[in-house]
Structure 1
Amino acid sequence: MSVTNSISQIVIDTTTQTLTLYQDGMAVRTLRISTAKNGTGQLEGSGCTPLGWHQISDKIGGSYPLGSVFVGRQFTGEIYDECLGQAFLERDWILSRILWLEGLEVGVNRGKTLEGILCDTRERYIYIHGTPDTEPMGVPLSHGCIRMRNVDVVWLYDKVAVGTKVLIV
């Protein structure tokens, strides 16, 4: 699928829990999101949302229906509903679409720190992805990823291209 009305940049604000899309330097839409319950941070195992400049490295799930369940970036064949959610209460649901982020700042969100600790956003499997509609937006609750409403992440998926810059502040 070709990207139409493409977005030139995304800014994720962890304080306001919003994701703003920019086209040609103009804000075109702001959406409510949920970032990490543990706050911001770069290190592997922290459960934090990484800061700084990123880009979308991969888009996954474009041909699947709303509510499609992904594990390890693979469609499980399941479509999320309340019964499935109740059957697997401990699952960290990744639904509908995945926009896999890749850090652009070596030693900050790419590669390792000066102390040799992994801080690589892509290797930490940090995504923008859908989540069950029962999960609140505007409240930090994720394990590091950026969660969105399913309809919003599907809309976003169709507007962005691999390589779109993402600034997380």
Structure 2
Amino acid sequence: MNDPNNLDSQLIINIAAQTLTVYQQQREIKKYSVSTAKNGLGSQENSGCTPLGQHIIADKIGKDAPIHSVFVGRVATGEIYDAALDALYPERDWILSRILWLSGLEIGINKGSNAQGSCDTYERYIYIHGTPDTEPMGLPLSHGCVRMCNQDIIELFEQVEEGMAVTIVAE
């Protein structure tokens, strides 16, 4: 696992800009448009918010899964997302193609608990993941996760490692 203090390679997610930027040796390598939480910033359990602060990629899930593969509980269901499947399950929060499961590093901010209760990014199942291609990027519409276009999450998945630093900033 990488040292999270090693900033040679890191991801910066900017909530105001709705972007995820890949940095290597302090140089910007690639910038992606994303969609963070509709409910805004926050780390409390059941808030539907995107947590701020220092994180790492705890787990990479979905290597070699077909594009648009559907995941439920971090397990590929064998389904491939399309409009017909969406019509069958209109309320489902689609998690597609790949999952990068985040874990917070800051006790009381995005790890463990604080006075308001659990604020643990990992226990809240906060991911960077693919979403239906019909979902707009650049607008905060998720339930707390960081959504990406399917092609983008597959590309990103190949560039990152478990243990890689991820910083989520307000602006």
TM-score normalized with structure 1 length: 0.94
- What is the distance in 2 between the residues matched to 1:162 and 1:150? 20
Query: Counterpart in 2 of 1:127?
Result: 127
Letter in 2 for 1:71: V
Question: Once the two structures are superposed, what CA deviation does each residue of 1:22-60 show, in whole Å capped at 9, x if it has no partner?
Answer: 011100111000000000001001000000000000000
- Partner deviation per Cα, 1:80-138 (whole Å, 9 max, x = no partner): 0111111110000000000000000011000001x261000000000000000000000
Counterpart for residue 46 of structure 2: 45
Identity of aligned residues (%): 60
Q: CA deviation at 1:63?
A: 1.9
The answer as to whether partners of 2:103 and 2:122 remain within 8 angstroms in 1 is yes
Aligned 8 A contact 2:19 2:138 in 1: yes
* Higher alpha-carbon deviation: 52-61 or 115-124: 115-124
Which residue pairs with 1:108 in the alignment?
Answer: 109
**Separation in 2, partners of 1:44, 1:87:** 28
For the aligned residue pairs, the C-alpha RMSD in angstroms reads 0.9
Task: Note the residue ranges of structure 2 that are not aligned, 5 or more in a row.
Answer: 1-7
C-alpha distance in structure 2 between counterparts of 1:124 and 1:14, whole Å: 18
Measured in 2, the distance between the counterparts of 1:116 and 1:126 equals: 18
SS of the equivalent of 2:120 reads coil
Report what 1:4 is aligned to.
none
Q: Which runs of 5+ in 1 are unaligned?
A: 1-6
1:79 is displaced (CA, Å) by 0.4
CA distance in 2, matches of 1:83, 1:60: 25
Name the counterpart of 1:164.
164
How far the C-alpha of 1:10 sits from its partner, in A, is: 0.2
Structure 1 residue 21, shift from structure 2 partner = 0.4
For residues 117 and 64 of structure 1, what CA distance do their matches in structure 2 show?
Answer: 36
Which residue of the partner structure matches residue 63 of structure 1?
Answer: 64
Q: What is the aligned residue count?
A: 162
Q: Partner of 2:84 in structure 1?
A: 83
